[in-house]
Amino acid sequence: MVKVKSAYVCTDCGADHAQWQGQCMACSAWNTLQEIKLTSSKNSISVVPTKATSKGYSGTVEGQVKKISDVNLAEVPRISSTMKELDRVLGGGIVPGSVVLIGGDPGVGKSSLLLQVMCVLSQDYNALYVTGEESLQQVALRARRMQLPDEKLYLLTETDVSLIAHSALNESPSIMVIDSIQTMQLAEISGAAGGVSQVREATAFLTRFAKQNNIAIFLVGHVTKSGEVAGPRVLEHIVDTVLFLEGQSDSRFRTLRAIKNRFGAVNELGVFAMTEKGMKQIQNPSAIFLSRGEEASSGSVVMVVWEGSRPLLVEIQALVDDSLYGTPKRVMVGLDPNRIAMLLAVMHRHGGVQASDQDVYVNVVGGVKVTETSADLAVLSAILSSMRDKPLSQSLIVFGEVGLAGEIRPVPSGQERLFEAAKHGFKRAVVPLGNVPKGGVPDMDIIGVKNLQQALEVL
């Protein structure tokens, strides 16, 4: 006899509760608990189909106990996606048996990117593309329009996860794509597709299926208005890697960022351009974000941000204007909005420059999001340049963290940042004194500063 039990899951943090209540006890969010039905029977979804050991599957048997000294530490060979930018974000390639979740706004290019990768990989590996949103004709037309080698790619249109697993075992693919996870459902779980219970259990089922059968699976996830993958936050904890594809509607450039990665660096960034033939990788993204005018303008300075495992040159722009209202505006685009007030207070206290009666607008050109503190000195330099209406040299590079005492703190990988700037033709740099390399950088004048007052005098 089938026993049906209920559980209440928080849609924000994924915590389980025995009964409904107004506030989640784990994350303190209000009205986020949703009921899911738990089915327990002999035909439960916990039974995941696997490849027979006699057919050559060499994966670890589920439930087998081993000593840690007996674990094979040989590096798992990765599968190259044939796109260096995607391999960079994944940590070096696709790991067999891994589950990768790719999220992004509708129309940003998630399906196009994965279809492009799968068509190329199908020439050397068994690849299966499962779609629950489009018909087979729609996927085939897109592949023909992008002029992709699609003669060896297998397609399947299905939303039942159990049927997808059995069909996959018959084809024995090395790589699978599920587009999208919000359309998948399990017959044993009550609720419509896209609900909390269906998304959670379908992802857990596919994760067990991938691990037991050594199949790499890409999951496409929709993004809500708040910028998170639709469904419970526990979805991000189940999978191995979480990638976000971002891009503005008025720009053809797309950035792929790793939010979580068990096989590589977090916050790794890949840059692509959307074209008629699919995604084209940009191997030198600094050249794109530095499309400056021929004449120098006030309020503009270039800095070097460290994204994952490589430096990236971006332009910081600032505009300072007299405030027309009682409360001046502080607007930051691409930077932490809460940090601007602190930086302005430090500039007033230790630099003698006051902006309490002026509106301050700061923007990172190209839609790049800078999360590290190395942009502090560049932001203050751009603000001061706009206030004095004095342009900074276009061959100048600035980076460094500003402390509350007015000191300029060194940032990680300072030497690599300077070499990247020199490669793009920059001749002068104002950096923290601790980041000045002993041997210097060829054809670059590097000025090390200890505090904010010294930095403002140099600028």
> To which residue do tokens 């057919």 refer?
55
Does any domain span residue 123? Answer: yes
Range of 341's domain? 288-458
CATH of the domain at 332: 3.30.230.10
Instruction: Let me know whether 239 and 136 are in one domain.
Output: yes
Output 96 or 17, whichever has higher pLDDT: 96
Among residues 259, 282, 305, the one where a domain terminates is 282
Query: Which stretch of DSSP H or E encloses residue 80?
Result: none
Instruction: Let me know whether 320 and 430 are in one domain.
Output: yes
Query: SS3 breakdown of the chain: % helix, strand, coil, rounded to 5?
Result: 25, 30, 45
> To which residue do tokens 């007015």 refer?
406
Which strand ranges, in their side-by-side order, compose the sheet holding 396-398?
A: 330-333, 358-364, 310-322, 300-307, 396-398, 428-432, 445-449
pTM of the model: 0.76
Instruction: Let me know whether 180 and 239 are in one domain.
Output: yes
Does any domain span residue 28? Answer: yes
Instruction: Let me know whether 191 and 84 are in one domain.
Output: yes
Instruction: Let me know whether 182 and 218 are in one domain.
Output: yes
Instruction: Let me know whether 270 and 159 are in one domain.
Output: yes
Asked if residue 269 has pLDDT above 90, the reply is no
Q: Give the count of beta carbons closer than 10 Å to the beta carbon of residue 445.
A: 13
**Domains of the chain: total:** 3
Among residues 224, 249, 282, the one where a domain terminates is 282
Does any domain span residue 55? Answer: no
What's the rounded mean pLDDT across residues 90-111?
Answer: 91
C-alpha neighbours within 13 Å on the C-beta side of residue 181: 34
Q: How confident is the model at residue 302 (pLDDT cuts 50, 70, 90)?
A: very high
Check: CB of residue 301 under 8 Å from CB of residue 396. Answer: yes
Residue 295, pLDDT score: 74
Instruction: Let me know whether 298 and 265 are in one domain.
Output: no
Does any domain span residue 272? Answer: yes
Q: What is the DSSP string of 138-201?
A: HHHHHHHHTT---TT-EEEE--BHHHHHHHHHHH--SEEEEE-GGG-B-TTS-S-TTSHHHHHH
Among residues 227, 261, 282, the one where a domain terminates is 282
Instruction: Let me know whether 260 and 293 are in one domain.
Output: no
pLDDT in tens, 217-244: 999 988 765 556 655 566 888 999 999 9
Does any domain span residue 183? Answer: yes
CA dihedral 229, 234, 235, 241 (to 10 degrees): 90
